[in-house]
Structures are given as C-alpha cells and as structure tokens.
Structure 1
C-alpha cells in the first residue's frame, strides 16, 4: 500500500504531531508499506515531502493568495482581522500545495489536523480513502493563545474549521477518549466512523538513545526537574514558575530544565527574573537528545493548561521517571494518581508546589512511582499495537471504498 501522511504542522519538529507521524511512518514501513509525509518543513518556509527531495517554495504560493485575502476580508475596514485573513490564506495555500504534489498516486491518505483534512478532501481523487487523526481542537488552543475571543468572526471561523475538518474524512482517529468526547459533545458526529487509538512509539529505540552522550549534564548534589514542552501559553510554564517560586521559599537544592522553544521564550525569561529563579531555571531550547536528557532527570513536570495526550508523559514513563502533571485532557487516561504518577488541577501553582515538595521528601514514593511508570509505559505505549490497529482501520476504509462492506 502507498500511503500519504499529511500534516499542516512542521515535520520534523519538536512536538506531538511530528513525533506521532514519524513513529507511524516507521511502523508502516517496517510492515512493507510505502509512506510519504507531506507537510511544512522544519523551518515553516516550504512545503515538502519529508526525506524525498520534493519541495515547494511557500511564499510563491502564499503571496498571491494573501493579496486576494486582503480584498476578501476588506483590510481597509475597521473590523478587519489580520490574524483571520492570514490563517485562512495559510489554509488555502496549503491546499494549493497539496494539489501540486498530486495525491493520485496514493492508495490511502491519512491527515493529521483539520486544515490538512479539508485541503486533502478538496483535491484528492474521490475513490481514495481519507483517514483523519484529530490531535486536538484548534479553536480551544487558539483561544488560550489569545488569537480568538468570544463573539468574533475569528471564533466562528475556528469553530467552523474544527467542525468541517472533523466531518470530511471516511474515518476519524482520536488518541484519547477525552478528545473523542469533545467532538461528540457537539452532537454533530453521529454519521462519522470513529475509533480511539492511543499513541505508541518505539520504546526500545528511545531507551537506546538515552545512552548517547549529551552536552548538558546535571550538576552534582541537586534534584533535577525537567519540563519538556514548547514555550506556548497552553503548556503552563507561568504556573510552573509560580510553583517554583513557592518551592524556593522552603528549599533551594533543585534546578529545573525547560526543554523546547517557542513564541513565549522572551516573556518567560522575564517572568523567571521576576520570581528570582535565574539560578534555578535553565532554558535549554530545542533539543534532539530528549531521551538522554530525560535519563538525567530525577522528576518530570507537565504543568499544561490544555493538552491532549502528550508524548512526554509516555516517554517519561518508559524511562521510569516519576511524573507530576496537570489533570487535563487525556492525561488522566495516562496517569493514575498515586499509582504511576501524580496529578494536580491545572493552574494551581500552590498544589503543584505541594506535590513537588512531597516527592522531594519521600524517596520511597519516588521509587514506587518510577517503577510503576516504567512497567506501565513499556507495556502500554507499544508502537506495534498502534500501527496494527491503524492498519486494521485502513483496511476497513479501503473495503468500504471498494464497496465490499457497508
């Protein structure tokens, strides 16, 4: 089977969608299938077929479209929304790029977000099955990031995008029961085939990578907290900083590494300074040695305000690390509080601090959580299981398209 995995988001990149797509490609190729990944490249400046030498200059496609968008949304109007115009232009440009890559050669197409799903549905052959994995709801994330507010055209557009993109495929995949419920709660999904298939990854390969040398090592005599997440509003770094400032009032035998980069780096560095955390918090930026960095960690913290099914929880569990995470999205499906990790309500810096302090003071609890996490992670997050279930779904979709089943 020749399969196209299509993502509006950058591949490769530090983030869950890219990690999922690359893991799925490996699993499918190991089973003898030919797989292409169509996406933005790692810089976001081109559209490309990953590792195949095919690329389209983004600006050549986007510039004429944005000239049209200025007219469409009336940029001279007092109500002109430049963000909305830019995002709809991005959507249309990505669809144009997909048409230039030609989707006729694929037996099946698997989109990774509503923007790519809509684009694929409008340019693919009618007989080609379209599977859509929904990794989140864009409207909710954009609202938390401040791009969307109530009773605006942007809000209507974001909701419409989520709805339409979730309806154009032959089958929807959700990584978590929570996300499936988010879409079902709209009451508009009755005719859509849906499955929950949790993420998986190559745990043995990841553990092997942890033995590779790294540049950054943990200082002696301190406890190391690690927070791997893009520097984005939804990841809750400001809550973490508040919690760490409270922790610092009681003890100073710790440091915290932030692994990842993003639009909030400058403002988060200011917040760090305001809380007098300069000697305890270190921004490591974008890294390609996540496994080795996690091996150094004593604890992993995931303070998200909004999340779905973060890979960092899976990776940390496989590495046998005690995790303190927000009880949001699909995370309670990954962590049982007090069993293989600790959960705190999102946004509660005081409770986050309390749980960190609890782990620091209770070594037997730390060891028990770490052992349970490792056992659970190695058993639960199997790449083979994810790929086998996904392939079963592909076969069903192909059979429906061929008229073999209803």
Structure 2
C-alpha cells in the first residue's frame, strides 16, 4: 500500500505533528507498506498563481484581510509545489494540515484523503491578539472545516474537546474520529536525580496563548511565600522580550532562565522535576505527554486536550486558566513534597505509555488505512 503523509511544516519543525509523523516510517515497513513524507519548504513563497475556488463558501468575501490573502497564497504555493514534486500515484493520502488536505484532493481527486486536524489556527490568532473573534479572518478559517468535510474522505482530530470545538463548523460532527498523537518511547530516557532546589520547566512557543504571563505571576507568588525554585523557559517567540521584562518587574528574573529555541528539549528535560504550562487553549498538548514520558510531574490548565491527559491529583495537577494563585498553590504542593511529586510523575509516565504510545497509534492507523486498501 502506497501511503503519503502530507504535512505543512517540514518534519524537523517542533510541535505535535512533527513529534509523531517522522517516526511512523520505520513502523510501516515493506512489503505491505510504502510510506513517504511530504511538506512545503520554507523557501517556497509566492510561487503559486491562478484562481482559487472553494466549493462550500466564497473566500472572496474575506479577501480584504491580509491574513486571508496570505493564507490563500500559501495554498496556491502548496498546490504549485505538490504538482511540481509529486508525479506518482498513491493508494491513500493522510493530510495533517487543512492546506495540505485541500491541496492533495485538488491534485489527486481520485485518491482517498484522510484529514487530521491537530490544532486551531484561528483560535491561536485570537488568543495571540492578532484577529478578532467573528471577524473576517475568523469566519474564513472556520469555513475551511466544512470545506474539508465536503472534500476529504474521512476527518480526524486529536481529542474529544477539539472535536467539540469543531462541531459547530461542520455538518456531521459525529463522523469526526479521534486519534491522539503518539510518541516513540525510545526518545525519552528518564534520569534518576535529586535536585536540592525544585526545577520547573516549560517548553512552548512564546506567544500569549500559552499563558506564560500567568506562570510568571504564579512564580512571583511562590517567591513571596519563601519557596525556592528555578524556572526554565525553553522556546522562543514574539513576546520573549515582554516576558523577560515581566520577570524583572516581578522580581523573579534571577530565578528564571530563558533558553530560546531548542530542537530536542526531550534530551535534557529528564533532569528537571516539574513540567508546567498554563495554556489558554490546547487541542491536545503534546508536550505534556512528552514531559510525562520523561517522568516529570505535570501541572497544567484545565483546558482542551490537557484536561484529557491529566486526571487531577492522580497523574498530575489541573488548575483553572487565568488564575496565578491557584497555579502557585498547585506548584507549591509538588515543590514542598518530593514524595508526592514522584508519585505524580510515576503515574503520569504510566498513563502516557498506556494511552499515547506510538505503537498504539500505529495499530489504530493501520486498521484505518486498511479500510482503503483496494
């Protein structure tokens, strides 16, 4: 069976999709399986041309928006690159981005296309203050969900909560399946260690949607309570300078280390003690599963896919979003009680291995793919 995994970002980019898809190839071996990966290189810009039409809505109603114009041009570029680079036929295409799925169905109309939706671009833009809810961009991006439902052969997403989010924008939400991301356990190597001072870590893109302002406020509260800790922030993004200035104003800059972007944070994440990320929204939150597999205690906000990964008090701690005091309370519990922290970490690791192993996802995908085997 000839399979194509159609990504948007190159597979070496950080994020949930890239943490799973490149590791699938070694699990889909010949003679029955033949798998390729495809993505749009960063250097491809403004190459595509020609009219773009969608079957379920008229995108020209939104074209005065520069964000919509850029999105449609990226779709043209993906089409151009697909037609240039892919000459062979496939038995099945699995797309992991709306642009990828719509482009593949345009170029290969007779080939079954499975569409997985891993996150919400419009929700990220709203939370990051770049677009308005119900504005042109929001309405354009949410219209794409019904277009994907109309054009592709099967739709999947990564969590129950994200399927609920998609429901108002499609005709038959009950037909959307759920396949959580999976992780290759061999990538994660927990290291026994004893840190005299609790080491907190977060890994994310530095954007408002991740709630790092709330985390810094919570850490300021911890310091006012006389608790010792070090906060390690791994990642980069447009609000890094703003966060560094906030840490200085709150008097916790000495306790906070900004690393910038790191390609493989899982290589040194096991040396920390507590993973914390108070996101304002997450479709799945792959980094929580990755941190659990590194045997870190988890503290996260009770939103989206995070709340589906963490059973509060059993394999991690959940707190309401936008609440630095409740976050500080949760962090204090795992800072002052190493034994409790260890139990949460052990339970979190067991849960992640049982629910989010790559083997489990591969098994589900093989069953799915064989439904299209001619």
Task: With the length of structure 1 as denominator, give the TM-score of the two structures.
Answer: 0.82
Of 56, 63, 78, which residue of structure 2 is paired with 1:94?
78
In the superposition, relative to structure 1, how do residues 242 and 301 fare at CA in structure 2: closer, same or farther (>3 Å)? same
Distance 2:35 2:329 in 1: 47
Tell me, yes or no, if the aligned pair for 1:5 and 1:111 is still in contact at 8 Å: yes
In the superposition, relative to structure 1, how do residues 271 and 123 fare at CA in structure 2: closer, same or farther (>3 Å)? same
The equivalent of 1:52 in structure 2 is: none
Q: Which runs of 4+ in 1 moved over 3 A?
A: 29-32, 218-221
Distance 2:100 2:360 in 1: 25
Residues paired across the two proteins, number: 366
Residue by residue over 1:270-320, the C-alpha shift from the partner in whole angstroms, topping out at 9 and shown as x without a partner, is 222222222111111222342232211111102111102122211222222
Of 207, 215, 218, which residue of structure 2 is paired with 1:232?
207
Deviation at 1:94, TM superposition (A): 1.5
Deviation at 1:237, TM superposition (A): 1.1
Q: Superposition RMSD on alpha carbons, in Å? A: 2.7
Distance 1:5 1:144 in 2: 29
Tell me, yes or no, if the aligned pair for 2:97 and 2:117 is still in contact at 8 Å: yes
Residue by residue over 1:81-102, the C-alpha shift from the partner in whole angstroms, topping out at 9 and shown as x without a partner, is 3222222211221122112222
Q: Does 1:115 align with 2:99?
A: yes
In the superposition, relative to structure 1, how do residues 143 and 112 fare at CA in structure 2: closer, same or farther (>3 Å)? same
Distance 1:264 1:30 in 2: 46
The equivalent of 1:274 in structure 2 is: 249
The equivalent of 2:157 in structure 1 is: 174
Tell me, yes or no, if the aligned pair for 2:120 and 2:283 is still in contact at 8 Å: no
The equivalent of 2:56 in structure 1 is: none
Deviation at 1:198, TM superposition (A): 1.8
The equivalent of 2:268 in structure 1 is: 293
Mapping of 1:68-107 within 5 angstroms?
80-102=64-86, 104-107=88-91
Tell me, yes or no, if the aligned pair for 2:199 and 2:229 is still in contact at 8 Å: yes
Q: Does 1:201 align with 2:178?
A: no
Q: Which moved more, 1:259-268 or 1:232-241?
A: 259-268
Task: With the length of structure 2 as denominator, give the TM-score of the two structures.
Answer: 0.89
Mapping of 1:178-197 within 5 angstroms?
178-186=161-169, 188-189=171-172, 193-197=175-179
Mapping of 1:144-159 within 5 angstroms?
144-159=127-142
The equivalent of 2:112 in structure 1 is: 129
Distance 2:212 2:146 in 1: 30
Q: Which moved more, 1:321-330 or 1:177-186?
A: 177-186
Residue by residue over 1:64-107, the C-alpha shift from the partner in whole angstroms, topping out at 9 and shown as x without a partner, is 679xxxxx989xxxx94322222221122112211222264222
Tell me, yes or no, if the aligned pair for 1:300 and 1:324 is still in contact at 8 Å: yes
Residue by residue over 1:241-283, the C-alpha shift from the partner in whole angstroms, topping out at 9 and shown as x without a partner, is 1111111212252111111222322322222222222211111
User: Structure 2: which 5+ runs fail to align?
Assistant: 52-58
The equivalent of 2:55 in structure 1 is: none
The equivalent of 2:27 in structure 1 is: 27
Distance 1:30 1:173 in 2: 26
Deviation at 1:23, TM superposition (A): 2.7
Q: Does 1:248 align with 2:231?
A: no
Tell me, yes or no, if the aligned pair for 1:9 and 1:17 is still in contact at 8 Å: no
In the superposition, relative to structure 1, how do residues 151 and 364 fare at CA in structure 2: closer, same or farther (>3 Å)? closer
User: Structure 1: which 5+ runs fail to align?
Assistant: 46-57, 67-71, 212-217
The equivalent of 1:309 in structure 2 is: 284
In the superposition, relative to structure 1, how do residues 378 and 187 fare at CA in structure 2: closer, same or farther (>3 Å)? closer
Any idea what SS the aligned residue of 2:7 has? strand
Q: Which moved more, 1:149-158 or 1:240-249?
A: 149-158
Of 25, 29, 45, which residue of structure 2 is paired with 1:59?
45
In the superposition, relative to structure 1, how do residues 337 and 252 fare at CA in structure 2: closer, same or farther (>3 Å)? closer
Residue by residue over 1:17-59, the C-alpha shift from the partner in whole angstroms, topping out at 9 and shown as x without a partner, is 2112223333324886322221134xx22xxxxxxxxxxxx13
The equivalent of 1:341 in structure 2 is: 316
